[in-house]
């Protein structure tokens, strides 16, 4: 039975950042706080890095030592009480990668995502058959149940596009992702049709970087920039690579990847020209199917 995993939320990240700020404003080190409150140093570290939500008594001790007055005190307590609420999470996610479930949680709370993909169609735009094909190909040792769990998780992520205020998705795809016959011609035909249909939706801006563009700064790999409705929640960068998943939160990293995305946006075809390229590739696939 998988152990229960803590998945960070935007609110928990905000609480952790606020407690770090308050400690710094009080000119206290973690060691100072431990000495004066008796809070375990490891526990304090986990609280300040959004690993755990502080217990009510622990939070009260921190707010006392930081001399936090009303109404800020009530605001922080309210933030803590809602810090573990998962906007989007399913029981079987315990078997998914920990940072991937964190990404799912952040994506569900996000206002916008800027996603660059070099080898795959973006997850939010994948058909079920395409998702199954790329998951099987990428995880050759996974059994059928594990594959289907990941397919289901990917399909359920799409609910963020069906909300009253849908996630705003700006996706840039390298042409190689469109030309790779993941799952075969029939799967790719349906995937291309799905992309063309999705491009008519107001929540989506889709661009393709053609082979003719030559080398570009996205060639090292894919990434996503996640932004949130509340200005107090800073953007984060998510990177999924062979070496493992990674979140980058520093302002310098977010600015660097924002600049890379802007460069890719300039290198890529316009949305209209991208749709024309996808339509041409779709015709090629249909001709190939007819010839068989």
The CATH code of the domain that includes 277 is: 3.30.870
According to the model, what pLDDT value does residue 8 have?
57
In a domain, 1, yes or no: no
The residue-averaged pLDDT of 277-289 equals 94
Is residue 2 a part of any domain in this protein?
Answer: no
Domain that holds residue 167: 91-291
pLDDT at residue 166 is higher than 90: yes
Residue 5 domain-assigned (yes or no): no
* Domain end position, chosen among 81, 107, 130: 81
Mind listing the pLDDT tens digit for each residue in 229-264?
Answer: 877 678 999 998 777 778 888 889 999 999 999 999
Report the distance separating Cα 52 and Cα 43, nearest Å. Answer: 8
Share of the chain above pLDDT 70, in %: 89
Q: What six digits make up the tokens of 209? A: 């970087």
73 and 114 housed in the same domain: no
Residue 101's nearest CA partner among 238, 229, 220 is 238
Domain termination residue (choose one: 44, 59, 81)? 81
| Region 164-183 average pLDDT | 97
Q: Is 31 in the same domain as 155?
A: no
Q: Are residues 104 and 56 in the same domain?
A: no
Residue 86 counted as domain residue: no
Question: Are 95 and 77 part of one and the same domain?
Answer: no
Domain annotation covers residue 255: yes
User: CATH code at 28?
Assistant: 1.10.260.40
**Statement to judge: residues 149 and 287 lie in one domain:** yes
Q: How far apart are CA 292 and CA 43, in angstroms?
A: 63
CA 242, CA 248: separation in Å to the nearest integer? Answer: 17
Q: Is residue 276 part of a domain?
A: yes
Structural domain contains residue 278: yes
Q: How many domains does the chain have?
A: 2
Residue 127 has pLDDT above 60, yes or no: yes
When comparing pLDDT for 225 and 8, which is higher? 225
Mean pLDDT across 117-134: 97
- Spatial CA neighbour of 232 closest among 82, 79, 94, 85: 79
Residue-level pLDDT at 97: 64
Residues 98 and 65 in one domain: no
Strands, sheet with 204-209, edge to edge from the N-terminal-most edge strand = 204-209, 168-174, 112-117, 223-227, 236-241, 244-248
Q: Which range (88-97, 124-133, 252-261) has the least confidence?
A: 88-97
pLDDT on residue 9: 63
250 and 111 in a common domain? yes
Residue at a domain's end among 26, 56, 81: 81
- In this structure, the answer to whether residues 145 and 228 fall within a common structural domain is yes
pLDDT band at 51 (very low <50, low <70, confident <90, very high): confident
* Same-domain check for residues 103 and 231: yes
Say what the pLDDT of residue 291 is.
Answer: 83
Q: How far apart are CA 212 and CA 228, in angstroms?
A: 35
Higher pLDDT, 72 or 262: 262
Same domain, 161 and 272: yes
Domain match, 74 and 111 both = no
Please check whether residue 171 lies inside any domain of the structure: yes
Q: Tell me: pLDDT of 170 over 90.
A: yes
What mean pLDDT, rounded, does the chain reach? 88
Same domain, 48 and 189: no
Q: What's residue 44's pLDDT?
A: 93
């Amino acid at each position: 039975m998988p152990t229960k995993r803590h998945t960070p939320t935007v609110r928990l990240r905000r609480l952790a950042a606020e407690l770090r700020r308050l400690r710094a404003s009080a000119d206290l080190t973690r060691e100072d706080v431990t000495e004066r409150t008796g809070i375990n140093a490891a526990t304090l570290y986990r609280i300040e890095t959004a690993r755990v939500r502080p217990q009510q008594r622990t939070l009260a001790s921190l707010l006392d030592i930081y001399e936090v007055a009303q109404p800020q005190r009530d605001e922080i307590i309210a933030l803590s009480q809602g810090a573990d609420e998962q906007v989007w999470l399913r029981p079987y996610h315990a078997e998914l990668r920990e940072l991937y479930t964190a990404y799912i949680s952040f994506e569900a709370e996000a206002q916008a995502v800027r996603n660059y993909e070099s080898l795959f169609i973006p997850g939010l735009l994948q058909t079920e058959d395409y998702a199954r094909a790329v998951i099987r190909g990428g995880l050759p040792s996974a059994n059928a149940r594990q594959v289907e769990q990941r397919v289901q998780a990917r399909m359920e992520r799409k609910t963020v596009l069906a909300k009253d205020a849908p996630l705003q998705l700006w996706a840039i795809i390298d042409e190689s992702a469109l030309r790779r016959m993941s799952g075969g011609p029939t799967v790719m035909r349906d995937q291309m049709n799905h992309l063309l249909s999705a491009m008519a939706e107001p929540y989506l801006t889709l661009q393709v970087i053609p082979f003719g563009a030559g080398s570009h700064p996205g060639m090292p790999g894919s990434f996503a920039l996640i932004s949130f409705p509340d200005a107090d929640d800073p953007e984060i960068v998510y990177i999924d690579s062979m070496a493992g998943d990674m979140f980058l939160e520093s302002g310098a990293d977010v600015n660097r990847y924002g600049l890379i995305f802007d460069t890719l946006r300039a290198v890529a075809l316009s949305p209209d020209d991208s749709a024309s390229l996808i339509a041409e590739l779709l015709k090629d696939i249909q001709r190939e199917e007819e010839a068989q």
